[in-house]
Amino acid sequence: MLAAVTDAVVPVAGLGTRLAPLTRALPKELLPVGRTPVVGHVVEELAAAGVERVCFVTRRGKGAILDHFDDPDPGHAISFLAVRQAVQRGLGDAVLCAEGTVTGPFVVALGDAVLSAAGGAPAGIVARLGAAFAAHDAVAAIAVEAVPPEAISRYGVVAPRAEAAGGVLLLEDLVEKPDPADAPSRWAIAARYVLSPAIFGALRTTAPGTGGEVQLTDAIRALLHAGGTVVAVPLAPGERRHDVGSPASYARAFLDLALDDPELGPELRAHLVARLRDGG
């Protein structure tokens, strides 16, 4: 059995402008999704994958995220620390802020995206990323989900060159937010990564790209073009990504996970069925 990746970096320093005014005083990562804040779901998923240390990349006004995990009886063995991102220069820059807190391969899990399995249990994708990373001696393993062509330009997208055992995709390229006509595949990057510490050197020399932000995708691309192996692992059947990014995706995330919750689900389902039957 392969050893689990035990360090995770969880960026939570973004501005959350798309969710304003909800995020005027409240970090979006603490918005409730069912009975748990977004980032609580993320940590449950990491604990289930064997992660033992979580480093939040945070900023001014987001101290409540660490407060949330001051639980004397947390039900897992994770220890938490935080580093600050002073200026919001993008996801790649946020990951670079955590350099010095990890010693080996580490997970990056976006703090505003929940990955669930059938029935609402935590998805198993992080453990599969760790296994693919080790099996292919990779510099990066990236979670991907199939998205329809009209949505592809909102995501980082991977270009596979071959498929290995277990459906793992070997990549020849990846690109951030392509035009639909230029998208190299339907595989969108899905909020979870396992990365080699070599990423920090690549991030330091990555110029701001799409949106004026330092893109993690560009730094992984640099490692790939320097000869490193980069693999992508598709979400399994039943695994789903729930993004708390826009009001519409937040509403869907709350409904989906509340419906899957054994305590909330049955009554909510009956309420929705009655409401829709009465004409919405």
Nearer to ligand UTP, 90 or 122 (CB): 90
Applying CB under 6 A, which of residues 43, 49, 57, 98 lies at the interface with ligand UTP? 57
Neighbours of 58 (CB within 10 A): 24
The β-bridge relationship of strands 106-109 and 7-11 is parallel
Residue 143 binds ligand UTP, judged by CB under 6 A: no
Q: Give dist(CA 46, CA 17) in Å, integer.
A: 26
Question: How many CB atoms are located within 10 Å of the residue 142 CB?
Answer: 29
Q: How far is the CB of 229 from ligand UTP (least distance, A)?
A: 25
Out of 158, 245, 253, 258, name the contact with ligand UTP by CB under 6 A. 245
CA-to-CA distance for 218 and 240, rounded, in angstroms? 25
Give yes or no for residue 85 binding ligand UTP (CB under 6 A): yes
The CA angle 113-229-3, to the nearest 5 degrees, is: 65
Dihedral angle sign, alpha carbons of residues 82, 77, 104, 222: negative
DSSP conformation letters of 183-195: -S-SEEEEEEEEE
Name which position in 5, 12, 49, 96 contacts ligand UTP (CB under 6 A): 12
Determine if 111 is a binding residue for ligand UTP (CB under 6 A). Answer: yes
Residue owning tokens 């900023």: 59
Which residue lies nearer to ligand UTP by CB, 55 or 168? 55
Interaction of residue 220 with ligand UTP, rule CB under 6 A: no
For residues 13 and 168, which CB has a smaller minimum distance to ligand UTP in the complex? 13
The count of residues interacting with ligand UTP (CB under 6 A) is 21
Report if residue 11 touches ligand UTP, rule: CB under 6 A: yes
Nearer to ligand UTP, 6 or 217 (CB): 217
Phi, psi of 222 (to 5 degrees): -65, -40
Q: Contact residues for ligand UTP (CB under 6 A)?
A: 11-18, 29, 57, 85, 88-91, 93-94, 110-112, 245
